[in-house]
């Protein structure tokens, strides 16, 4: 069984916050794959179901973000799961809004929800990081994170959540690069393997450039004609 934890803060006050995009992703997956109704357990809201034959438990910790690890850790101990059975979906300040990245382990990047999960569950779990952008100034971070998405953000938030739900089987089966391509395309980005970089043309010598501008009227005979024919490839 896999445990997929979407992070956020509980209650209607925080429902549309950027910090709650993990909750939103969990809701999208549950709806798309006909999971059970949400119920309360492990200091969380949980829903269970299957994705492409894999049993999955979705969890939305209700402990508030800073204590997310308490709820996730309780569920993992109950089901005797290891960090490799855990996927966490959360907001990421250091990614451009709409961008997504998947990684296993690593630092918490100052994210208190991740810091709590690291402390209670270990660090070697997969993390689906969903970019919410950075306000540019440290003093504005708190209000940015706990502020609601703007109406204009719907242009990328809704396609991103839909793509996560549509391609949840890739998330479950560890098809990370394929999933990243799907999410990038859904939000108007460029799939990493879609457009390979074209090789740069080799440098051209002055002689080659000169040949591209061959004079129309060359002398027909004499020493000058012989020299120009060698240079420009005259007939």
- Is pLDDT at 20 greater than 50 in this prediction? yes
Rounded-to-integer distance, Cα 92 and Cα 194, Å: 25
Instruction: State the helix-helix crossing angle for 154-166 and 21-32, rounded to 10 degrees.
Output: 50
Domain boundaries of the chain, sorted by first residue: 2-186, 203-235
- The continuous run of DSSP H or E covering 208 comes out as helix 206-212
19 is catalytic: yes
pLDDT at 213: 44
Q: Which of 19, 33, 90, 111 is catalytic?
A: 19
pLDDT tens track for 32-88: 999 999 999 999 999 999 999 999 999 999 999 999 999 999 999 999 999 999 999
Token couple for 23 = 């909750």
In this structure, of 57-66, 72-81, 178-187, 200-209, the range with the lowest mean pLDDT score is 200-209
Is residue 3 a contact partner of residue 57, using CB atoms and an 8 Å limit?
yes
Domain 2-186 has CATH 3.40.50.1860: no
| φ, ψ for residue 80, nearest 5 deg | 55, 50
How far, in Å, are 101, 161, 164, 189 from residue 151 at the CA level?
A: 24, 15, 20, 20
pLDDT tens track for 213-229: 444 454 555 655 565 55
Identify the residue with better confidence: 128 or 190. Answer: 128
pLDDT at 36: 98
Characterize 141-180 residue by residue with b for buried, 16 or more Cβ atoms within 10 angstroms of its Cβ, and e for exposed.
Answer: eeebbeeebeeebeebbebbbebbbbbbebbbeeebebbb
Task: Please state the pTM of the whole predicted model.
Answer: 0.79
Q: pLDDT-derived band of residue 212, with 50, 70 and 90 as boundaries?
A: very low
| φ, ψ for residue 137, nearest 5 deg | -130, 130
């Amino acid at each position: 069984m896999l445990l997929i934890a979407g992070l956020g803060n509980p209650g209607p006050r925080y429902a549309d916050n950027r910090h709650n995009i993990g909750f939103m992703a969990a809701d999208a997956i549950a709806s798309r794959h006909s999971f059970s109704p949400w119920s309360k357990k492990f200091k969380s809201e949980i829903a269970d179901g299957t994705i492409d034959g894999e049993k999955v438990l979705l969890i939305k910790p209700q402990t508030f973000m800073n204590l997310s690890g308490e709820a996730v850790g309780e569920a993992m101990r109950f089901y005797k799961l290891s960090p490799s059975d855990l996927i966490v979906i959360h907001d990421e300040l250091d990614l451009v809004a709409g961008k997504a990245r998947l990684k296993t382990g690593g630092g918490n990047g100052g994210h208190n929800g991740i810091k709590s999960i690291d402390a209670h569950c270990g660090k070697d779990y997969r993390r689906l990081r969903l970019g919410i952008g950075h306000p540019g100034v440290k003093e504005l971070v708190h209000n940015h994170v706990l502020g609601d998405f703007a109406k204009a953000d719907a242009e990328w938030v809704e396609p991103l959540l839909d793509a996560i739900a549509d391609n949840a089987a890739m998330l479950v089966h560890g098809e990370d690069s394929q999933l990243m391509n799907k999410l990038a395309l859904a939000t108007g980005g460029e799939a990493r393997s879609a457009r390979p970089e074209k090789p740069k043309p080799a440098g051209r010598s002055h002689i080659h450039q000169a040949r591209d501008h061959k004079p129309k009227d060359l002398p027909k005979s004499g020493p000058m004609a012989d020299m120009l024919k060698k240079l420009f490839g005259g007939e």
